[in-house]
Amino acid sequence: MANQTLRGRGGTGAPRQRAVAAAARAAAKRAERTRGTTGPTGSGGPTEPTEPTGPAEEPSPRPAAEPARRRGLLTPALAVLTLLGLAATATLGLQHREAGRTAEARTAALAAARKAAPVILSYDYRHLDRDFRAARSHLTAPFLGQYSKTTTSVVAPTAKKYRGVVKATVASPPGGDAPAASVVSATPDKAVVLLFMNQATTSTQISGPRLDLNRVRMTLVRTPRGWKVGAVDAL
pLDDT at 41 over 50: no
CA distances from 65 to 61, 151, 176, 215 (A): 8, 86, 78, 78
| Residue 136 CA from chain centroid, whole number | 42
Cβ-contact 167, 131 below 8 angstroms: no
Question: Average pLDDT in the 90-96 region?
Answer: 70
The percent of residues above 70 in pLDDT, for the chain, comes to 67
In a domain, 15, yes or no: no
CB-based contact 195:218 (threshold 8 Å): yes
C-beta atoms surrounding 81 within 10 Å: 11
pLDDT in the model for residue 61: 55
Closest Cα to residue 117, out of 212, 226, 198, 235? 198
- 161 vs 3, residue with greater confidence: 161
Cβ-in-10-Å burial (0-12, 13-18, 19+) of 12 comes to exposed
Q: Pick the residue with more confidence: 89 or 227? A: 227
Check: CB of residue 122 under 8 Å from CB of residue 165.
no
Peptide bond between residue 142 and the one before it cis (omega within 30 degrees of 0): yes
What CATH number is given to the structural domain containing 108? 3.10.450.230
Highest mean pLDDT among 38-42, 51-55, 195-199, 204-208: 195-199
In a domain, 55, yes or no: no
Q: Is 100 exposed, middle or buried (0-12, 13-18, 19+ CB in 10 A)?
A: exposed
Report how far residue 175's alpha carbon sits from residue 8's, in angstroms, rounded to the nearest whole number: 156
Number of domains in the chain: 1
Answer with the residue of higher pLDDT: 192 or 63: 192
Would 165 be classed as within a structural domain?
A: yes
Lowest mean pLDDT among 11-20, 70-79, 136-145, 170-179: 11-20
Q: What is the overall mean pLDDT for the chain?
A: 79
The CA–CA distances, whole Å, from 101 to 97, 198, 217, 224 equal 6, 32, 22, 16
pLDDT of 215: 94
Query: Does residue 102 belong to any structural domain of this protein?
Result: yes
Burial tier of 202 (Cβ tally within 10 Å: 0-12, 13-18, 19+): middle
228 within some domain: yes
Long-range contacts of 39-45 (CB under 8 A, 24+ apart): none
Helix (H, G, I), strand (E, B) or coil at 205: coil
Q: Looking only at Cα atoms, what is the longest distance across the chain?
A: 189
pLDDT at 164: 96
Measure the CA–CA gap between 136 and 65, rounded to whole angstroms: 79
**Cα 145 → chain centroid:** 42
| 171/200 Cα distance (integer angstroms) | 12
The answer to the question of residue 40 being in a domain is no
For residue 27, is it within any domain?
Answer: no
Classify residue 222: in a domain, yes or no.
Answer: yes
* Residue pLDDT, tens place only, 55-91: 555 555 555 555 656 555 567 777 777 777 777 777 7
- Where is pLDDT greater, at 134 or 75? 134
For residue 196, what are the β-bridge partners?
215
Domain of 128 in residue numbering reads as 92-234
Compute the average pLDDT of residues 96-125.
93
Closest by alpha carbon to 232, among 158, 138, 154?
A: 138
